[in-house]
Structure 1
Amino acid sequence: MYSKILVAIDGSQCGALGLEEAIGVAQACGAELEIVHVIDGGYELAEVRAGLVREGHKLLAQAQARAESRQVRSQAILIDEILAMSDVGNQIQKVVEDSHAQLIVVGTHGRSGISRMLMGSVAESLVRHCSVPVLLVRVPKNGEAAS
């Protein structure tokens, strides 16, 4: 079915749920997993950016260890493009095009209305613009059981 699956992570609960789902799908398909983290925004202070890059590498290493613990092949991709200026969705789309991933998995809070408009939505951008299927993994609302 799928031989290469891309999952975008950001260190949030949302990203962690997306990672778990992507690992499960990759495991079921025998697919390779590409784990992507994008440094968000153009930070001018070198110390701040260096800290974000360190944390990004740490987050990716933890995600790869999680995938490997379930016998899923993976590779980690850190995107540190200062010109991205918070356009995370577009950066992920570029990786998808370059890697020939056949499925994208991304966590989402399922925000709507004003909160989505103010915060933007990487998931929405991917669904609207990517040419490959996008699997959205929603964070359960309080009181809902996670599946």
Structure 2
Amino acid sequence: MASIHQLLVPVDGSPTSTKALDAAIELARLNGAHVRLFHVIDELDHVNGFETPKAYREDLLPLMRAGGERMLAQMRRRVTDQGLMCDSVLVESGTGRVCEQVAEEARLAHADMIVLGSHGRRGLARMLMGSDAEQIVRHAPVPVLVVKG
């Protein structure tokens, strides 16, 4: 089995992504690996059609960026408090789907594995809500550990 030196952990601040982070911390501890947290400000999750483009750019986007930075800082502390090395990347979704951005970050970071949480939706809920985890698994250039919430 290949060694694990770099873990990429896509996070969104949910209990499910926190559970995945805990699994990544354990893997990092066992392998002496570095943890990179990755958060995408997914604009489509917040656009409702009522904001003007100017209000979105000047009001909503800075709030989403600040919230993402706070969340990443808290999660970095969770990792470094365990004596592990950790950094983080925050990106705005812009063009491309979240799954593509995670795959690209895995390549750029030379990740050996992606660790992510999944809500485990099935049936109608999965059809309506989609599955980011499933799409990340499909696009990932490295093995993926999916931690069910």
The TM-score normalised by the length of structure 2 is 0.87
- What is residue 73 of structure 1 aligned with on the other side? 85
Paired AA for residue 33 in structure 2:
A
Structure-to-structure mapping, 1:76-95, within 5 angstroms? 76-84=88-96, 87-95=97-105
Distance 2:117 2:40 in 1: 14
The yes-or-no answer on 1:38 pairing with 2:40 is yes
Among candidates 7, 10, 16, match of residue 8 of structure 1: 10
In the comparison of the two structures, how many residue pairs are matched? 137
Paired AA for residue 16 in structure 1:
T
Structure-to-structure mapping, 1:90-129, within 5 angstroms? 90-129=100-139
RMSD: 1.2
Distance 2:139 2:69 in 1: 27
Which deviates more from structure 2 when the two are superposed, residues 41-50 or residues 122-131? 41-50
Shift of 1:128: 1.5
The yes-or-no answer on 1:49 pairing with 2:51 is no
Distance 2:75 2:139 in 1: 26
Question: Higher relative contact order at CA 8 Å, sep ≥6: structure 1 or structure 2?
Answer: 2
When Rg is computed on C-alpha atoms for both structures, the one with the higher figure is: 2
Taking only the aligned residue pairs, the percentage that are identical comes to: 35
The TM-score normalised by the length of structure 1 is 0.88
Alignment gaps of 5+ in structure 2: 48-52
C-alpha contact (below 8 Å) 2:37/2:87 kept by paired residues: yes
Q: Deviations over 1:87-134 (max 9, x none)?
A: 211111110111110100000011112211211111101111212110
Paired AA for residue 17 in structure 1:
K
Shift of 1:20: 0.8
Paired AA for residue 116 in structure 1:
R
SS of the equivalent of 1:26 reads helix
Alignment gaps of 5+ in structure 1: 140-147
Moved over 6 A (4+): none
Distance 2:92 2:139 in 1: 21
